[in-house]
Amino acid sequence: MNILILGGGGREHALAWAIAQNPKCDQLFCAPGNAGIAQVADCVDMNPEDGDAVVEFCADESISFVVVGPEAPLVAGIADTLRSAGILTFGPSAAAAQLEASKNFTKEICDACGADTAAYAYFTDIHAAKEYVREQGAPIVIKADGLAAGKGVVVAMDIKTALDALDDMFGGAFGAGGGAEVVIEEFMEGEEASFFVLSDGVNVLPIGTAQDHKRAFDGDKGPNTGGMGAYSPPPVMTDEITQKALDETIKPTIAEMARRGTPFQGVLFAGFMIKDGRPRLVEYNVRFGDPESQVIMMRLGAQVLDALLACAEGTLDEARINWAEDHAICVVYAADGYPGSYEKGTEIDGLEGLDDNPKLQVLHAGTKIENGKILATGGRVLGITARGDSLKQAHDCAYAAIEKINWPEGFYRKDIGWRAL
């Protein structure tokens, strides 16, 4: 079959790398893709949010399966558009994508199905919100509702920070979509980890756990980023915790979405805060994580396509994952200055031959190729991803490779996986 992936980051390179290995995949396209994806797929200059263009492309190229990477096209309804056009699609409807787009929606779902998560209150009025903060005290968590690309959350350790965050959010700091509506949450202590589960709307299939590193610098210092690295599996996600998360939060959520007539079909990426044997939901995303998907895909390999197809076809109850007792790690190589401003167009050298090792993949997040040269085009640029029998083995393999890359304008963390090593 011919397959189209929408998106062009490290997540989509990881998906493309895994899908291209499956014999069911004849021709693979990716829109817009990047220089790394171009090694395994035909990159198409097309906006993933332009439903008409995507449907037309699918007809022209006889595409029989579309995998949607990022959240923005999902929230904009690309999966609805494609399914209405009769195209098999992996990814939730706009209605089900509310699990990521609206924090208040997710909280309502959690209330309705009894999922374990932080206590909360929802405000559209700044005075009432400030009153609530003063009543509750700090630490407390302030969240702008809507897609704020991870920037709409302030974990306030004191009242002043919380009140300032409310001033910012009601002042429109996060745009029209976020800010006029705010969720205020109980602060949860513990260790965070992510859990990835596929659902066809009814059935669920766990496909792995991971932990990312959000701060820019070693020792979890510096500003928050989209993720500077990840590893799988994290020891904190024991079988018992994983089962608890599945039984007490994820399955009830999927059932509640179906009950409301908006079944969730796609990957549910759940962030949990774990303490004293209790996993509590921090948030849902309706897509794979980046860089979490790099380590998940590295471990799953070609079988991921069968699982995604089963998900889209509604036959997930028959799907199986064959687990290897392996470990994976991804070290992100980012442009100096990221997550602030950074230079674009700098040259990256020394990538040739690194992927000859079957346990190592250099997954591209923000690159382009120009006159045969690989140029950096984004903040997070490469994800050096390795697999091994132990995390230490995977770690050593990834770091040995990254040291061979010549990119003076980039930086990476030296301590990815430290909690588990």
C-alpha of 48 from chain center: 17
Alpha helices in 50-125 (DSSP H): 51-60, 71-75, 78-84, 98-101, 103-113
Q: How far apart are CA 318 and CA 10, in angstroms?
A: 29
The closest alpha carbon to 175, from 195, 148, 193, 155, belongs to 148
In the bound state with ligand GLY, the residue whose beta carbon lies nearer, of 25 and 270, is: 270
- Is residue 132 close enough to count as binding ligand AMP by CB under 6 A? no
Residues in the chain, total: 421
Q: How far apart are CA 323 and CA 31, in angstroms?
A: 30
Q: How far apart are CA 398 and CA 388, in angstroms?
A: 10
Quote the tokens at residue 210: 């991971």
In the bound state with ligand AMP, the residue whose beta carbon lies nearer, of 37 and 129, is: 129
- Is residue 226 close enough to count as binding ligand GLY by CB under 6 A? yes
Q: Pick the binder of ligand GLY from 12, 185, 248, 292 (CB under 6 A).
A: 292
Q: Which does 153 bind (CB under 5 to 8 A by kind): ligand GLY, ligand AMP, none?
A: ligand AMP
- Are 72 and 97 contacting, i.e. CB atoms less than 8 angstroms apart? no
Can you state the angle between helices 126-136 and 159-170, rounded to 10 degrees? 160
Q: Pick the binder of ligand GLY from 73, 227, 378, 417 (CB under 6 A).
A: 227
In the bound state with ligand AMP, the residue whose beta carbon lies nearer, of 17 and 272, is: 272
The closest alpha carbon to 68, from 54, 57, 86, belongs to 54
- Is residue 12 close enough to count as binding ligand GLY by CB under 6 A? no
User: Burial code of 122-145, b = ≥16 C-beta within 10 A, e = fewer?
Assistant: bbeebeebbebbeebebbbbbbbb
Residue type, 338: Y
Q: Applying CB under 6 A, which part among 152-160, 216-224, 284-292, 378-386 lies near ligand GLY? A: 284-292
Q: Which does 105 bind (CB under 5 to 8 A by kind): ligand GLY, ligand AMP, none?
A: none
Q: Which does 71 bind (CB under 5 to 8 A by kind): ligand GLY, ligand AMP, none?
A: none
Integer angstrom CA distances of residue 255 from 95, 166, 172, 258: 15, 34, 35, 5
In the bound state with ligand GLY, the residue whose beta carbon lies nearer, of 248 and 290, is: 290
State the minimum distance, in angstroms, from the CB of residue 284 to ligand AMP.
Answer: 9
- Is residue 321 close enough to count as binding ligand AMP by CB under 6 A? no
- Is residue 289 close enough to count as binding ligand GLY by CB under 6 A? yes
Beginning with the edge strand found earlier in the chain, give each strand of the sheet holding 120-123 in spatial order. 120-123, 182-186, 140-144, 153-156
In the bound state with ligand GLY, the residue whose beta carbon lies nearer, of 145 and 292, is: 292
State the minimum distance, in angstroms, from the CB of residue 229 to ligand GLY.
Answer: 10
State the minimum distance, in angstroms, from the CB of residue 155 to ligand AMP.
Answer: 5
- Is residue 9 close enough to count as binding ligand GLY by CB under 6 A? no
Residue type, 284: Y
Q: In which element (H, E) is residue 275 found? A: strand 265-275
The closest alpha carbon to 359, from 393, 312, 392, belongs to 393
In the bound state with ligand AMP, the residue whose beta carbon lies nearer, of 150 and 206, is: 150
- Is residue 100 close enough to count as binding ligand GLY by CB under 6 A? no
Q: Pick the binder of ligand AMP from 118, 184, 207, 316 (CB under 6 A).
A: 118
Q: Which does 212 bind (CB under 5 to 8 A by kind): ligand AMP, ligand GLY, none?
A: ligand GLY
Q: Applying CB under 6 A, which part among 150-158, 242-250, 294-302, 408-416 lies near ligand AMP? A: 150-158
Q: In which element (H, E) is residue 67 found? A: strand 63-68
DSSP letter for 248, please.
I
In the bound state with ligand AMP, the residue whose beta carbon lies nearer, of 330 and 360, is: 330
- Is residue 153 close enough to count as binding ligand AMP by CB under 6 A? yes
Q: Which does 292 bind (CB under 5 to 8 A by kind): ligand AMP, ligand GLY, none?
A: ligand GLY
- Is residue 271 close enough to count as binding ligand AMP by CB under 6 A? yes
Q: Pick the binder of ligand AMP from 38, 94, 155, 354 (CB under 6 A).
A: 155
- Is residue 383 close enough to count as binding ligand GLY by CB under 6 A? no
Q: How far apart are CA 91 and CA 47, in angstroms?
A: 17
State the minimum distance, in angstroms, from the CB of residue 293 to ligand GLY.
Answer: 8
| Residues making contact with ligand GLY (CB under 6 A) | 212, 226-227, 285, 289-290, 292
| Residues making contact with ligand AMP (CB under 6 A) | 118, 141, 143, 150, 153, 155, 185-188, 192, 271, 282-283
